[in-house]
Amino acid sequence: MHTRRLSLVLALAAVTATALAPAASANPRSGDLHIEKDCTGYTGQAGQTCTITSSNLRAIPTGSVITYASDLVGATLDSDITVAAGPGNVAYGHCTLDFTALPGVCRLSGGTGRFTHIHAQVSVSPLGDDVWAWDGTFAFGSGS
């Protein structure tokens, strides 16, 4: 009887682990981050935005909006940012770019909703015609 219960418990554990495995792989906790954003209309003024047109991270889908808090000063952007990815899901970060010496750098560190424990660092470079790339890494977790 004891062996039968143990077998049942092990079988149930295996089924549970198998059921959870696809969810874990579909929503990775860390990895490479590749985003493209369209900044048509962005002229370097506080409050202006860029729209994400491509993302390999499901938490930051196409259509998410990056808002810049500070004005461009000369050829330098040194601004806090937010990345809004739906109601209640906002990542906070900071970008520093010298447009005469690219690439620049953006970092995300925390936020609300699904971004409570995000950390990311990306290199920012132009792709042409107001389209920019973010390439770097991300991690979710309180210890990341």
Please report, for residues 7, 12, 21, 130, the alpha-carbon distance to residue 52 in angstroms, rounded to integers and kept in the order given. Answer: 49, 42, 29, 12
Place of tokens 């004891």: 2
Q: Which amino acid is at 104?
A: G
Q: Is the pLDDT of residue 56 over 50?
A: yes
pTM of the model: 0.79
pLDDT tens for 79-137 read 999 999 999 999 999 999 999 999 999 999 999 999 999 999 999 999 999 999 999 99
- For residue 1, the model assigns a pLDDT of 52
Place of tokens 């971004």: 115
- For residue 141, the model assigns a pLDDT of 84
pLDDT tens for 13-52 read 333 333 333 333 345 689 999 999 999 999 999 999 999 9
- For residue 90, the model assigns a pLDDT of 98
- For residue 60, the model assigns a pLDDT of 96
- Interatomic CA distance for residues 139 and 53, integer angstroms: 21
- Interatomic CA distance for residues 94 and 80, integer angstroms: 4
Neighbours of 71 (CB within 10 A): 14
Report DSSP state, residue 9.
H
What's the token pair of residue 142? 């309180």
**Centroid of chain to Cα 104:** 16
